Amino acid sequence: MEVRHGAFLLFLLSLLSIFLLPQDFRPTATSAALLLLALLLSSWGKGLRAGISYLRLNLPRDGLLPLLGWSAAALLSSCMVTGVISGILWLAGLLDTAPVEQKILSLPLLALVSAFTLAPFAEEALFRGYFFRRMQEAAGKKKAHSPVSVALAAVLSSLLFASLHFSYGSFSELAVAFFVGLALCAFVRKTGSLWPAVLAHASFNLLSVLFTVVL
């Protein structure tokens, strides 16, 4: 069996497990399916190594320190965007964070851990790694890096990312996810690496879990 066929079968099995596994394991299974989908789409016909490179998951050659610096900047930007959007929604009377808090508090331990480990990695790989880049390319090779193509790809991939948060039942969650997605696209574009977005996303989710569960 070819590698790509094996990867496709593995993705189908992970997708099936979402419906077959007990409720406590489904969020983690969903994240695993998203990650496998990103790897499958990026490596189809090219090989896994090329797929990882396409997703910009290769470690940067200029060292760990710049990577951590960009990750911290991406996290700070995500927090600032969240604060601004939440403030605007509060002034408009549209801030509805209670469903999000209830959703987080209802998650089993495995899902909570997955929320700041596997889930950010999978979501960044699919939305900022694959879709953001692929949508730029869809505009044509000569126009793939134009400001309009980049902006359009950022908006569309962020809309897809935000749609993943419909289950929270919160307009605020959708709005924050969309604008944070735009911010993370900017960092992926600036650094040429997915890792700052992955680390910032993971840290952001960890802070959200800690503030909700502990505080």
In order, the DSSP letters of 145-213 are TSHHHHHHHHHHHHHHHHHTTGGG--HHHHHHHHHHHHHHHHHHHHHS-SHHHHHHHHHHHHHHHHHHH
Give the gyration radius of the chain's Cα atoms.
17
The predicted pLDDT at position 18 comes to 67
For the segment 176-196, what is each residue's pLDDT rounded down to a tens digit? 999 999 999 999 999 999 999
The predicted pLDDT at position 1 comes to 43
User: By CB neighbour count within 10 A (0-12 exposed, 13-18 middle, 19+ buried), where does 208 fall?
Assistant: middle
User: Is 124 within 8 Å of 194 (Cβ atoms)?
Assistant: yes
Q: Which two tokens stand for residue 20?
A: 């077959």
The predicted pLDDT at position 196 comes to 96
Q: Is residue 70 part of a domain?
A: yes
Q: Is residue 27 part of a domain?
A: no
Q: Is residue 8 part of a domain?
A: no
Number of domains in the chain: 1
Q: Is residue 51 part of a domain?
A: no
Q: Is residue 71 part of a domain?
A: yes
Q: Is residue 208 part of a domain?
A: yes
Name which of 151, 201, 172 is nearest 99 in CA terms.
172
What are the distances in angstroms from CA 113 to CA 110, 191, 207, 213? 5, 28, 12, 12
Q: Is residue 48 part of a domain?
A: no
Q: Which two tokens stand for residue 140?
A: 């044509």
Q: Which residues of the chain fall below pLDDT 50?
A: 1-2
Q: Is residue 183 part of a domain?
A: yes
pTM given for the model: 0.91
Domain range for residue 117? 64-213
